[in-house]
């Protein structure tokens, strides 16, 4: 009998109306002021994790600037040796320069990376349909508007997340499918940044699942070794926790 999968977060539960006793703050430094901010506001309201609060800063510029701010914040938190807080950088490929270097710098510093290629709209679009090839941000935004007429990138770019949330499990499966395809193409020498993928789904589930996120993600990634590399997009200390959960237990020592 296979191991029991951790169930997805309840889509009907709202956080109880009570004073929360926070033990963890998730900080997000973001490129966008509208779409991404509306996403995190929605997740803050829907979070099932009473031990998590969310703070974010939007409109912080290009990936290099977002990375510098995120790394600086991570270093400040590191000086508080007892703090379990996490820092995530949220940015897109778009036509930005220095994206590859920014991702690497975040990983090296222990900053989580919610990265989307070509743009953040890929993540809400996966709630509506599969995306099988790389498309520029204008195409993705236009396609999202076709599914969601009230979304208009030129007029605030707000996504109606309550409408999309019931398809969370399907959207996650589609995101994982993109990662698997990207891993295959990268093995054949293709540039990862020329392929469609998003890691925004990991931050999405992190905020909904709270303490249940580590076993859920380990169980999700375990069957496909090619996906284990996604752990490197997680922040400190979450990265180490998921890595430990993915590491096979050592057999007990045999008799001398």
pLDDT given for residue 213 in this prediction: 94
Distances (CA, A) of 239 to 140, 183, 222: 30, 20, 15
pLDDT given for residue 12 in this prediction: 41
**In angstroms, rounded to a whole number, what is the distance separating the alpha carbons of residues 177 and 35?**
24
pLDDT given for residue 148 in this prediction: 87
Cβ-Cβ contacts under 8 Å for 250 (sequence gap 6 or more): none
Token digits for 94?
């778009």
Successive 10-residue mean pLDDT values, the chain, 256 residues? 46 44 85 87 76 84 93 93 90 88 97 95 96 88 88 76 94 97 89 93 94 95 95 96 88 62
3-state secondary structure of 82: coil
**In angstroms, rounded to a whole number, what is the distance separating the alpha carbons of residues 2 and 45?**
34
The structure's pTM equals: 0.87
pLDDT given for residue 232 in this prediction: 97
Q: Hey, where are the domains in the chain?
A: 24-188+195-246
Q: Classify burial at 92, counting beta carbons within 10 Å of its beta carbon; exposed 0-12, middle 13-18, buried 19 or more.
A: buried
pLDDT given for residue 256 in this prediction: 56
Tokens 């284990």 belong to which residue? Answer: 228
pLDDT given for residue 48 in this prediction: 58
Long-range CB contacts for residues 208-212, cutoff 8 Å, separation at least 24:
208/9, 208/43, 208/46, 208/47, 208/48, 208/49, 209/6, 209/9, 209/48, 209/49, 210/47, 210/48, 210/49, 210/50, 210/51, 210/52, 211/49, 211/51, 212/6, 212/9, 212/49
pLDDT given for residue 15 in this prediction: 43
pLDDT given for residue 60 in this prediction: 82
Token digits for 25?
């703050």
pLDDT given for residue 249 in this prediction: 64
pLDDT given for residue 205 in this prediction: 96
Task: Answer yes or no: are the C-beta atoms of 28 and 204 closer than 8 Å.
Answer: no
**In angstroms, rounded to a whole number, what is the distance separating the alpha carbons of residues 248 and 181?**
25
**Residues facing 228 on adjacent strands:** none
pLDDT given for residue 119 in this prediction: 92
**In angstroms, rounded to a whole number, what is the distance separating the alpha carbons of residues 240 and 168?**
26
Q: Smallest Cα–Cα separation from 197: which of 62, 112, 92? A: 92
């Amino acid at each position: 009998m296979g191991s029991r999968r951790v169930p997805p977060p309840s889509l009907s539960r709202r956080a109880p109306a009570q004073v929360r006793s926070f033990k963890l703050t998730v900080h997000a430094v973001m490129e966008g002021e509208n779409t991404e901010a509306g996403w995190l506001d929605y997740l803050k309201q829907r979070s099932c994790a009473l031990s998590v609060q969310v703070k974010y800063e939007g409109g912080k510029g290009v990936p290099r600037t977002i990375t510098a701010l995120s790394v600086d914040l991570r270093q400040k938190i590191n000086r508080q040796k007892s703090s379990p807080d996490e820092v995530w950088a949220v940015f897109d490929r778009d036509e930005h320069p220095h994206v590859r270097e920014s991702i690497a710098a975040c990983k090296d510093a222990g900053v989580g990376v919610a990265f989307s290629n070509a743009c953040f709209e890929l993540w809400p679009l996966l709630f509506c349909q599969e995306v099988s090839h790389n498309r520029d941000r204008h195409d993705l935004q236009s396609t999202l508007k076709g599914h969601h007429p009230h979304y208009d990138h030129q007029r605030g770019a707000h996504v109606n997340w309550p409408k999309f949330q019931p398809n969370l499990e399907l959207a996650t499966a589609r995101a994982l499918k993109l990662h698997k395809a990207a891993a295959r193409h990268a093995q054949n020498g293709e540039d990862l940044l020329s392929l469609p993928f998003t890691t925004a789904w990991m931050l999405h589930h992190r905020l909904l699942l709270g303490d249940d996120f580590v076993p859920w993600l380990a169980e999700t990634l375990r069957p496909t070794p090619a996906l284990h590399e996604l752990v490197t997009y997680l922040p400190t200390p979450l990265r180490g926790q998921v890595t430990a959960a993915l590491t096979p237990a050592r057999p007990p020592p045999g008799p001398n």
